[in-house]
Amino acid sequence: MIDLHTHTIFSDGELIPSELVRRAEIMGYRAIGITDHVDFTNVEHVLSSVEKVKYLEDVLDMRILTGVEITHVPPEKMGKLATLARRLGADIIVVHGETPVEPVWPGTNRAALEIGAEILAHPGFITIEEAEMARDRGVCLEITSRRGHNITNGHVARLAMEAGATMVVDTDTHSPDDLIDSRRAVEIARGAGIPEEIAKRMIEDHPLVRF
């Protein structure tokens, strides 16, 4: 299992980074991304704190990527924030997409694609034009196991497959019970209408992690 969208106590998660990583190890994770919510008010603090969890790579057979999820930031400000996060050492940029269950700024999906985020998380009612842009720019579209956000998984999967965009399954973990194993991840993908063989490849060969 490879999951590059999780949260800790450094935003709205319940676990410190070390416990999150340990619980992920028990679930059979080969790689995890810790991507706490940020805006301009907390990005330095989050990255300087969370990056220290990489000390565990010395004793675990697991890749740990640290990054951010840009959340509720006006689209015209996102590029500057992403640049700052990368300068501060972020391995991965996730953008909180235009979910149907939170008041994210209109235009966020397109802005995430324009700034070259690695993952557009739970992008809600994404358009075919945006899915094609994700394909052309190498941005992964997320199929999520997160309750609420996952109600549009079928729509996201259908347009992603139509456009030929890359999809990934992530958990958006906030609490221990949010972590899933690879079998469950395949079920999430298949539940979104993704054929089983494609679903298995999505889980086992995450395009953003190379071993």
Residue 210 has pLDDT above 90, yes or no: no
Strand 92-96 versus strand 63-70 pairing type: parallel
Whether the model pTM is above 0.85 = yes
DSSP H or E stretch at residue 34: strand 31-38
pLDDT in tens, 70-107: 999 999 999 999 999 999 999 999 999 999 999 999 99
pLDDT band for position 146 (cuts 50, 70, 90): very high
Residue 211 has pLDDT above 70, yes or no: no
CA distance 12 to 15: 9
Reduced to 3 states, what is the DSSP secondary structure of residue 163?
Answer: helix
CA distance 22 to 30: 12
What does the pLDDT average to over 105-112? Answer: 98
pLDDT band for position 209 (cuts 50, 70, 90): confident
| Structural domains in the chain plus CATH codes | 2-204 (3.20.20.140)
